[in-house]
Amino acid sequence: MLTHNVAAPSSLCPILSNDWHFHVSDQLIFPHNLNPNLFWRASRKIKGCRLKASFWESIRSGILKNNTTQIVEPPSTLEEEEEPLPDEFVLVEKSQPDGEIEQIIFSSGGDVDVYELQALCDKVGWPRRPLSKLAAALKNSYMVAALHSVKKLPGSEGNEQKRLIGMARATSDHAFNATIWDVLVDPSYQGQGLGKAMVEKMIRTLLQRDIGNITLFADSRVVEFYRNLGFEPDPEGIKGMFWYPRY
């Protein structure tokens, strides 16, 4: 079985050279082979013996290979340990010849307007989904990451132009597993490393929450992109299974 130790990165370079247009497909991808020089263990400490195992072993019910019961930490009652704390920072800042300043702001507080999200999906060519379902998906996600472009002229405080240019979200059982969904970046902002920076930040947040099994679905054209982020398709032949209704 494939084994790996997952740890959280101490620092991530936010601006990298490549970005992509993402679509959902039927390939399930798992994290693997993370660089130990770039990653540190998540801050949450597990009492007793920490389970070091493969993907399937790590989602079992706490039984080790020698059939001894794993010592587990009792559930925390602290609210701040249940969900990621909102985060916001400037990822990129650009100055134009006319003095206009554009900032690309990363945020993870779930501040995403469903109408803006639908417009962004239209730009990347995704099929439309009911707004009510989009809103429910955002509300029920463990983490929602967004990229906003904020443009302003000197001396024009309070008159900023803000629009959504990127989004990704993750669902989770808050303990072992998380799946990243709906990674998309405005086509006019692709190729600047923004999508990569957004996914890296999400991975870091999940690992800091001691969530080590991180999966996603990727179009075949962007599998290599996710490989470079530490994901591996079908490790040891493990396949994602999809239920289809048979009429």
- Res 86: pLDDT: 82
**Residue 232 pLDDT > 70:** yes
- Res 111: pLDDT: 81
Residue of 106 and 36 predicted with greater confidence: 106
The pair of three-digit structure tokens given for residue 64, joined into one six-digit string: 């080790």
Spatial distance between the Cα atoms of 26 and 169, rounded to a whole number of angstroms: 18
The pair of three-digit structure tokens given for residue 77, joined into one six-digit string: 């009652």
168-216 tens-digit pLDDT: 999 999 999 999 999 999 999 999 999 999 999 999 999 999 999 999 9
Spatial distance between the Cα atoms of 185 and 23, rounded to a whole number of angstroms: 11
Indicate which residue of 115, 142, 189, 226 is catalytic. Answer: 226
Spatial distance between the Cα atoms of 32 and 8, rounded to a whole number of angstroms: 13
Assess whether 226 carries a catalytic annotation: yes
- For helices 131-139 and 114-123, the axis angle rounded to 10 degrees is 110
Amino acid identity of residue 222, one-letter, is: V
- Global pTM reads 0.68
Domains, the chain, in order of start with CATH, read: 85-237 (3.40.630.30)
Residue of 67 and 246 predicted with greater confidence: 246
- Res 42: pLDDT: 35
